[in-house]
Amino acid sequence: MNQQELKAFLDSKVEEYNQLGFIANDPISIPHEFSKKQDIEIAGFMAAVFAWGQRKTIINKSHEFLGLMDNAPHDFVLNYSEEDLKPFLKFKHRTFNSTDALYFLHFFRWFYEKYDSLEHAFTGKLGERTSMEARLTHFFEVFFSLPDHPIRTYKHIPNPARKSACKRINMFLRWMVRRDDNGVDFGIWRHIQSSELICPCDLHVDRVARKLGLITRKPTDWLTAMELTQNLKKLDPLDPVKYDFALFGLGVEEKF
């Protein structure tokens, strides 16, 4: 199909899948259980980090982790005691273990004692006009800026400098940044624009995008995510990542 036909097709699928009914079986349901901005950020970030494998398991593990935080993550990270950390010693999700959990909590305490939004970790002093690649690299550096950071935890925070497609962090950014009237994404961040977002390139999105000719690169890495996003910008330069709904829905719901 030509570009005009492709746009019409994908726009119709965005309308079909960018709906509140999409939330229940997706990890985005986790931050939707909160109303405080910082709780949404922490819950969303953890759900995105855990977004590896079956969605049901991701949701269950997110609930388990947040339950250990008394389902009040912002208050917990600012006020936990050493005793409060003991239950996390038994937490595990795939390769994410207690060492990772304790460092995440340590980072959150350090960060939220200084700033009121996790957005600052992506923007910092970079200014408004910078690349998303620079923002993600900056976030990685901020996240591991504490002197006791464990090297093993690097695997849970993707970095485009390491050629990662950064699927999970791009998904989290979509949740925080995109604003529309459908109530799926939160749009609570203001210093990053929807036009800057990079499409999360997961297995389903990758497969459908290749079938539609939106990806030509053989590997799936950062340059692939950039290629996909640049092609989606031809369809909507201001909100290219809205097509994540269409591509994912086509892959998961329709086995396109």
pLDDT score recorded for residue 127? 61
Q: Give me the amino acid identity at 28.
A: I
Distance in angstroms (rounded) separating the CA atoms of residues 43 and 49: 10
Please, which residues bridge with residue 2 across strands? none
State the pLDDT at residue 52: 87
CA distance 38 to 118: 8
Token pair 């405080």 is at which residue?
36
Query: In this predicted structure, what is the pLDDT of residue 187?
Result: 97
Which are the contacts of 147, defined by CB distance < 8 A and separation ≥ 6? none
- Encode pLDDT of 65-107 as tens digits: 999 999 999 999 999 999 999 999 999 999 999 999 999 999 9
| Residue 173 Cα distances to 2, 158, 178, 208, 210, angstroms | 30, 13, 8, 22, 23
Amino acid at 33: E
Tell me the mean pLDDT in the region 159-184.
Answer: 94
- Which residues have C-beta within 8 Å of that of residue 149, sequence separation ≥ 6? 103, 143
- pLDDT reported for residue 128: 58
Over range 132-155, report the average pLDDT: 95
Structure tokens at 44: 């969303």
* Predicted pLDDT at 129: 59
- Average pLDDT estimate for 200-214: 95
Report pLDDT for 130.
80
Q: What is the pLDDT of residue 72?
A: 98
Q: What is the pLDDT averaged over residues 206-229?
A: 96
Euclidean distance between CA atoms 6 and 182, whole angstroms? 22
Cα gap 72→140, rounded to integer Å: 25
pLDDT tens-digit map of 244-256: 999 999 998 777 7
* Mean pLDDT rounded to a whole number for the chain: 94
pLDDT, residue 254, reads 72
DSSP helix/strand/coil, 93: strand
Q: What is the mean pLDDT of residues 37-50?
A: 98
Nearest Cα to 197, choosing from 206, 208, 205, 189?
Answer: 189
